[in-house]
Amino acid sequence: MSEHGERHLPGKGLINGLAVTLKTMVKPSTTQQYPDVEPDLPPRSRGVIALLEENCTVCMLCARECPDWCIYIDSHKEEVVVPGAARARQRNVLDKFDIDFSLCMYCGICIEVCPFDALHWTPEFEYAETDVLDLLHDKNRLGDWMQTVPAPPAHDVLGEPSKEEATAARKVAGPGAATPAQTARPAGRPERAS
Amino acid sequence: MPLWLDLLVRVVAVVAAFLVLPLVVGQTEHKVMAHMQSRLGPMYAGAFHGWAQLVADGVKFVQKEDITPRAADRQVFRLAPIVALFPYLVVLLAIPLGPGGLVAQQMDIGLFFVLAVLGVGVVAVLMSAWASANKYSLLGGLRGAAQLLGYELPLVLSAASVAMAAGTLSLSGIVEAWSPWWLLWQAPAALVFFVSGLAEIRRPPFDMPIAESELVFGYLTEYTGLRFAFFLLAEYVGIVVIAALTTVLFLGGWHGPAEEHLGWLWTLAKVFAVSFVVIWLRVTYPRLREDQLQRLCWLVLVPVALAQLVLTAAVKVAM
């Protein structure tokens, strides 16, 4: 627009348009031809949810917190006799753990909320079905997905150390040593205008 | 060479060009438009970067059902694609390919003949629009009629300028009389002719009659299958014809290094270069509104063409 007094030559916009299309044409296109080529998925991509059954204590947090109510859990209690203990221990045994992926909205709340790291994200996405009922993945199928769970990406170098690292560092340093809060680099907080 | 053989060779050559060149231009359009939009275009048909995409499209169109709307005027509806296609075939007869009379039909009034026959394409648009018995088609067709009739004038005036410069209406004669300084002398006429030609073949940014996002598909809405394929072929043959006419009239046709032997190569190269520009303009520019289109024609192109006529006459008289 020439409201600010700058007069453009008539036709300059037309020529600029032609230049843009020509420039785009000579640059190689970044199209990935799926399915001949596997897509480059970024780390922590959310494809499907995997279940590590041995970690699950049937606390039901995931089923409770799922906004869509797409996790179905059944369990029963078993007694485990421990020799030398006053009474038998009880443990939850998982009978049914289904996730209905026709309802799942891939929010990840179930994975975040699981205290025992029994649920994991994997980037697998090729599980389309012709029948919507087949989108209900049962316990075995969810366990199979565990083989596709990638290693977690490395921690951010500039981020805060995780609680486990901080605790371990404190133990090594011994009592009375400087805590991470005292030795942390000052965050780049902007000066408040007075 | 006996006459019948001579005629046969010429006709076969023109029909071959008529069938092959538009497909090459069409495939180029797929790929060029794709890369200008940062994508790849057809890649599967024919295994090497989708070269056979248009062949596959042809097969697809041939096997489609032949539908004529119940309320449509059957004869007119069915004739319209042929009427759209035939003039371009006839125009290709007059385009000189190389020096020494390398043209399907030598004509002393070649330019007049070409411009007259191109006008028949307007009838095809109106036929398909009216016969389709469809509001959108009719709207598209009437817009098309206004556009095509309007742009005939700058087309003819700019062609007249170069005919005046060459002193002949014969297309071969015009190419022979061409000299490089004409690029400067006839530049306004070249631009006017090219833009009017684009409007005559209803290519973006002048595709108001089709206007996919507004008129469904304008006068082509009711056409499917082979008839639709003929209209599409007509569009690409139109590009080849307008590119060929621009080349022959304004860019010197077969002139170039070693023109005795390679004249035909330079003609084809220039035709493809101009076709590339046609595709480039399609990708770059948004559609002109009906009133902007008419304004461009009557208030810009016609005066420029008339001024060019005056300039040409003045220079001819002075030289």
**Which of the two residues, A64 and B50, has the higher pLDDT score?**
A64
Q: Supply the range of the domain harboring residue B209.
A: 3-318
Task: Establish if B284 touches chain A: CB-CB under 8 angstroms.
Answer: yes
- B233 burial (CB, 10 Å; 0-12 / 13-18 / 19+) is buried
Question: pLDDT value at position A192?
Answer: 53
Angle at B289 between CA B287 and CA B291, to 5 degrees: 150
Rounded to whole angstroms, the Cα distance separating B187 from B197 reads 15
Residue A148: other Cβ atoms inside 10 A: 13
ipTM over 0.85: no
pLDDT tens-digit series, residues B258-306:
888 888 999 999 999 999 999 999 999 998 888 899 999 999 999 999 9
CB atoms closer than 10 angstroms to residue B201: 24
The sign one gets for the Cα dihedral A161, A165, A169, A171 is: positive
Helix (H) or strand (E) holding B74: helix B74-92
Taking alpha carbons only, the member of A76, A96, A183 closest to residue A141 is: A96
Q: Which residue of A has its CA nearest to B42?
A: A33
Cβ(B175)–Cβ(B248) under 8 Å? Answer: yes
Give A119 or B44, the one with higher predicted confidence.
A119
Domains and CATH numbers, chain A: 48-148 (3.30.70.3270)
Cα B138 from chain centre: 23
Whether residue B191 has pLDDT greater than 90 = yes
Chain A touched by B299 (CB under 8 Å): no
Mean pLDDT across B78-95: 92
| Rounded Cα distance, B222 and B205, in Å | 23
pLDDT, residue B19, reads 93
% of chain B residues with pLDDT over 90: 65
Residues of B in contact with A25 (CB under 8 A): 32, 35-36
- The strand order across the sheet containing A136-137 reads A71-80, A89-100, A136-137
Interface of B with A in 14-43 (CB under 8 A): 32, 34-40, 43
**How many of the other CB atoms lie within 10 Å of CB of B150?**
19
Total domains, chain B: 1
pLDDT of chain A, 194 residues: tens digit per residue: 444 556 778 889 999 999 999 999 999 988 888 888 889 898 889 999 999 999 999 999 999 999 999 999 999 999 999 888 888 999 999 999 999 999 999 999 999 999 999 999 999 999 999 999 999 999 999 999 999 999 988 888 898 888 888 899 888 887 776 665 666 555 555 555 54
Residue found by looking up tokens 């220079």 in the block = B315
At A92, is the secondary structure helix, strand, or coil?
strand
Tokens 């469809």 belong to: B134
Residues of A in contact with B43 (CB under 8 A): 33
> What tokens does A175 get?
């009592």
- Per-residue pLDDT at A1: 44
Q: How far apart are CA A55 and CA A61, in angstroms?
A: 13
Query: What would the pLDDT profile of B120-154 be if each residue is shown by its tens digit?
Result: 988 998 888 888 888 878 887 888 888 999 999 99
